[in-house]
Structure 1
Amino acid sequence: MLNGIAVSAEPVVTLKDMVEKTISSNPEVQARYHKFLEAGHEQDVMRAGLLPKADIVSSFREQEKLVKNINNTATPSMNNELVLRQMIFDGFAISSEVKRLGFASRVRYYELQSAMQNTTLEFMRAYIDILRYRELTQFAKDNYVIHKQLSDRIKDRVEAGVARRVDLEQANGRLALAEANLLTETTNLHDVTARFQRLYGDLPPAALEAPNFFNAGVEASAEDALKIAYRHNPDLLSTIEDIQAKRKEINTNEARYFPRLDLQARKNLGTSSDGKNSTSAADLLELTLNFNLFNGFSDKHSILQAAQKLNGAQDMRDKACIDTRQLVVIAYNDIVQLKEQRTYREQHRNSIENARVAYQKQFDIGQRTLLDLLDSENEFFQAKRSLTNTEYDLQMAYVRTYAGQGALLNKIGAARGNLPEYAREDYQDNESICQAIAPAQPVIDKEALLADAKPLANVYPTLAKPALAANEIKTEPTPAAFACKIEDVTARVHDWGTAWRQKDADQYLKFYADSFVPESSLDRGSWEKQRRERLSKHGKIGLKIEDLQVSCDGEKAIATFNQSYTLTQFKIKKTADTACEVCNMKRIPIIAYQDKVKKELQFEHVNNAWQIVRELTSK
């Protein structure tokens, strides 16, 4: 009770009610509905030709003023005549046309059903997208909040001098991405709301009922689903009805080869000028026969024209078969694939969520970099989005399958009132030539993929298992887990760079593990020879390591950085002509080679030292 006025909760609008409102008020559906009513009235107009017609024919004339009355007879100036006409036989033209229009009315009926199915399909697409983007928008909001909190946390650490400013730049960059994602999702929600409003007529309510009509599932196979579609799809049924209408049109045109027989009765109600009944008044009953002998071959060509219309209607039926098959088998396959995909998406989301929590704890103790933490948050956000999209895509696959089968409204339980129910006719089965043949659903043989795959050592040599002789296989106690420290790996990278700058080939090559495989096609021996030759070249090496990022994972670590390399050589140049040649010589530096690349060094902790097992370079 508020200020003496009872406040009741806003009634919940069910999905069924919303669909019924949509198919009862949507302009496109309404236009089809009026076309259906129009077809019914058109048939009634033609059916009237089977009934008698009654007319009163009145005439007025001034014959006595034009022709002098010699015989002293009175010709009535006003004459009324009652005429009754009844068609007896017209070669079955009217009856054939009535039947044709009856089939045409059924065509309009199934076109109306198709419009309602398609409008409901579009409405359900908007309805499900409203649910989808409301959920995705909430994910984007949560993602933004987390990135904002992380950014503020890193900012505090930078100001306290315990974190690098480059970490803050990374955090701010990811925060900007989170803000862009939030803007994208809110824009998508706005657009789908406008689409919903166009179909429904009103804005969507704050609370929407979760659809559950697809819990009944679908048929056991795509072929069985197709059989249902071929019996109930309104687009296909409308083409079958159109074929029957075109057959009756041929019968209507063939009626022109028959005579027309009419019964006509006349009652002359005329009176003379003196008010007495005229002697010319008479009753008449006659039978008239009209038989056309030649009509310029128009009757023949009208039949040929109708025959081509029949051929076209049959072609449209074949097209409807093909379109229905494509729609249903694709939607059915999407159901099968998305149900399996949902399992993997859910597993991915759960695994990433667990890793995200672990990364947060490891970041707090220095075992994870900020980049690792931000990557885990972004991957968790994307995993949730992927799972949600898969869930709603699966719902839409059910909706599309039901729509292709002409059963969407029945599944929802919605209907439009004041529509007849047509019983299925035998000719609908006879005219349907659609074959329920569906493509085989794709099945991935994962065991065959693994059997045909290259050994892992060919792709990632560092992950290859070392082969041991039978007499060398020993059971060793599991060592304690090694704790990777970022500062140790960072120092190791700088020591590696120092050895390179000093052109100390022996020390430089000690940084590479025995399992190291060069990125190029060279083998290990050829690669070492090449490196020694390059380090022995005359000149000074300049090496800058910038934006160094290190991530640790147990006994493995990865260092990524921007590398600037220069090789400076010196030439002696004579600067003047004097008696003292030595005095005129000057040593001039020349850049012989330089490049800038992105480099990734993959380390493993071997023999109590961090050694390089993989070196990757990109521009």
Structure 2
Amino acid sequence: MKKSYYLSFLIGLSSWVQADTLVEVIRHTLETNPDILVTTHQRLAVDQEHRQAVAGYLPSVELNGGYGRETSDNVTTRSRYSDSEVSLNREELGLTLSQMLFDGFYVKREVEYQNRRIESAAHQVKNTSEQIGLLTVSAYLRLFQYHELLELAKDNLVIHQKRLAQIREIVEKGAGRKADVQQSQSRLALASSNLVRAQGELREAEYRYQRITGQLPEFANLVKPERPLVETHLPESAEIALNLALKTHPSMKIAQAELEAAEALYQQAAASFIPHFQLELGATDNKNLDGIEGTNDDLSAMVKMRYNLYRGGADQARREEIAERVSAAKEVIRRTRRTLEEEVQLAWNDLMTIRERLTYLKNHVEATEQVVESYSEQFKLGQRSLLDVLDSENELFNARSTLISGQYTELLGMFRVISSMGLMLNKLGIKPPAEAQVEY
């Protein structure tokens, strides 16, 4: 007996350990979802572009060399040799170190530009994580919703099967009508159809869950989330939610970073109108140059200036192009703000609407349950037709289905409100991928 209890305990403990809570499923999804991994790789690519920009501050060292046959006919060969043409094996070896001294702040602006791009890419990782997180919540909750609807459809089918058996028994005793059997069979067929539909909807929910999370659900291991998990984090009003969204939502931060990136490029474009200075240190070890046999070595240290005077107006056109991109980035911020306003207000309105509806849906279910009970008793007394009873039972099934869907719509609606502020992962205690952090 003790062994049996111990085995039962281990089985129960195993089930508890393997349980997949909503938070755990979201964490797994953030690690494996391709949409998120795309943004993380893009962020890492921008990091490397930032390294390229910083390299502009550092010196560059170049080694060059060459070997070949050279035939020369010049003033020197004609004065030195009877034959004006001289062929020698030419050898070249050179080392050059270049250091930017002043480039009109081109590199500085490039680094600033890449800094802003890192910010944008990091916020994009966060934004995509929030979106995939909400999709995961939706897929997770839909599994529970359609499982409940499936159980309801099964119960409804059993009720109609019992009703048909009851009517057949009455008819066989000569107290009923054949039409009652036909009506009951008709409603049984409808109940069977509802069951098939519920099974199909559940399969669709499972496929959707698999697409988002990367794995088929094991429903027995899933844990239904409790309302306090999200309800305690709801703002008091839509206005508060909107103010938070404008401050914290990653899409706003993306738009702001893109504007600052465009402004950095605009400032960088001014470098084309300013002289550039560069220090060059060089050393060569050459042999047999230009028909002169022997070594020809050089050491040099020079400050070189490059000043673009005219390029056909390309530099001015580039500056004006970027000015337009700055203006476009400002409009993106305005558009993002409007989009957030709409998303927050819609999410809040949907939540308030379904909450108000739920009161009536619950009342509808309770009232319909009483009607079914009353009609069943009256049918036994011959005061109600079978059609009345079947209609009331069908109405009860629909009422319960609508209530179940409404309850999950409300629960998902609370997550939507939090997500519309860009705070869902934070409130659930879930860290987005490391690439969502801004580090230069």
Q: TM-score, normalization: structure 1?
A: 0.64
CA distance in 1, matches of 2:425, 2:358: 26
CA distance in 1, matches of 2:355, 2:19: 30
**Count of residue pairs brought into register by the alignment:** 418
Gaps of 5+ in 2: none
SS of structure 2 residue aligned to 1:56: strand
Amino acid in structure 2 at the alignment position of 1:382: N
What is the aligned partner in structure 1 of residue 205 from structure 2? 192
Shift of the alpha carbon at 1:390? 1.0
**Mapped contact 1:259–1:291 kept (Cα < 8 A):** yes
Is it true that 1:316 corresponds to 2:326 in the alignment? no
SS of the residue 1:285 aligns to:
strand
Gaps of 5+ in 1: 424-619
Q: CA deviation at 1:9?
A: 2.7
Whether the 8 Å contact between 1:76 and 1:278 is mirrored in structure 2 is no
Distance 2:256 2:51 in 1: 22
Cα pair 2:171 2:177 within 8 Å, conserved? yes
The alpha-carbon deviation at position 76 of structure 1 amounts to: 8.0
Larger relative helix fraction: 2
Deviation at 1:413, TM superposition (A): 2.1
Corresponding position: 1:40 with 2:40 = no
Residue 268 (structure 2) aligns with: 252
Deviations 1:536-573 (A, max 9, x none): xxxxxxxxxxxxxxxxxxxxxxxxxxxxxxxxxxxxxx
Question: What is the CA distance between 1:222 and its match in structure 2?
Answer: 0.7
Of 359, 369, 383, the residue aligned with 1:343 is 359
Of 99, 104, 111, the residue aligned with 2:117 is 104
CA distance in 1, matches of 2:46, 2:411: 37
1:94 partnered with 2:110: no
Residue type at the aligned position of 1:197: Q
SS in 1 for 2:430: coil
Among 216, 230, 246, which residue is 1:230 paired with? Answer: 246
- Determine if the alignment matches structure 1 residue 358 to structure 2 residue 394: no
Task: Show the counterpart of 1:265.
Answer: 281
Over residues 246-274 of structure 1, what are the superposed CA-to-partner deviations in whole Å (9 max), with x where a residue is unaligned? 0011111111000110000112234679x
Q: Which amino acid aligns with 2:372?
A: R
Note if contact 2:358-2:403 (Cα within 8 Å) is conserved in structure 1. Answer: yes
Structure ID, larger Rg: 1
Does residue 303 of the first structure (1) align with residue 319 of the second (2)? yes
Cα separation, 2, equivalents of 1:211 and 1:412:
11
Residue-by-residue CA offset, 1:442-485 (whole Å, 9 max, x unaligned): xxxxxxxxxxxxxxxxxxxxxxxxxxxxxxxxxxxxxxxxxxxx
Work out which of the residue numbers 128, 135, 147 in structure 1 matches 2:141: 128
SS at match of 1:337: helix
Q: Deviations over 1:49-76 (max 9, x none)?
A: 1100111221324447875893899988
The 3 A distance-change label for structure 1 pair 217 and 47 is: closer
Deviations 1:192-227 (A, max 9, x none): 111111111111112321123213141111100101
Q: 1:327 to 1:342 in 2, by over 3 A?
A: same
CA, structure 1 residues 76+85, in 2 after alignment: closer, same or farther (shift >3 Å)?
farther
Q: Is the 8 A contact 1:74 1:272 kept in 2?
A: no
What's 2:181 paired with? 168
- Once the two structures are TM-superposed, the CA of residue 418 in structure 1 deviates from its matched residue by 2.7
Query: Aligned with 2:435: secondary structure?
Result: coil
Deviation, structure 1 residue 420: 5.2
1:31 aligned partner = 38
Residue deviations 1:313-338 (CA, integer Å, cap 9, x gap) = 11111111111111111111222222
The amino acid that maps onto 2:122 is Y
1:286-315 CA-to-partner distances (Å, cap 9, x unmatched) read 010011111101111101110111111111
Find the aligned partners of 1:179 and 1:74 in 2 and give their Cα distance.
Answer: 100
Indicate the RMSD between aligned Cα atoms, in angstroms: 2.6
For residues 111-167 of structure 1, what are the alpha-carbon distances to aligned partners after superposition, in whole Å with 9 as ceiling and x for unaligned?
Answer: 221111111121211111111110001101100110111011111211221001111
CA shift at 1:110, angstroms?
A: 1.4
One-letter identity of the residue aligned with 1:211: P
Alpha-carbon distance in structure 2 between the residues aligned to 1:302 and 1:63: 45
Partner of 1:211: 225
CA distance in 1, matches of 2:413, 2:236: 15
1:93 deviates by: 0.9
**Contact map agreement 2:30 2:433 (CA 8 A) in 1:** no
Q: Is the contact made by 1:76 and 1:270 (CA closer than 8 Å) also made in structure 2?
A: no
Alignment of 1:11-26 (within 5 A): 11-26=18-33
Structure 2 Cα separation of the partners of residues 227 and 65 of structure 1? 79
For residue 46 of structure 2, what is the amino acid of its counterpart? A
**Equivalent pairs: percent with the same residue?**
27
Most deviating of 292-301 and 351-360: 351-360
Residues 21, 225 of structure 2: 8 Å contact kept: no
Q: Which moved more, 1:120-129 or 1:86-95?
A: 120-129
Q: Which stretch of the first structure deviates more once superposed, 352-361 or 117-126?
A: 352-361
Conserved 8 A contact 2:285-2:295 = no
Aligned residue in 2 for 1:59: 66
Counterpart of 1:510? none
For 1:295, what is the secondary structure of its paired residue? coil
State the one-letter code of the partner of 1:233.
H
Shifted more, 5-14 versus 116-125: the winner is: 5-14
Q: CA deviation at 1:282?
A: 2.7
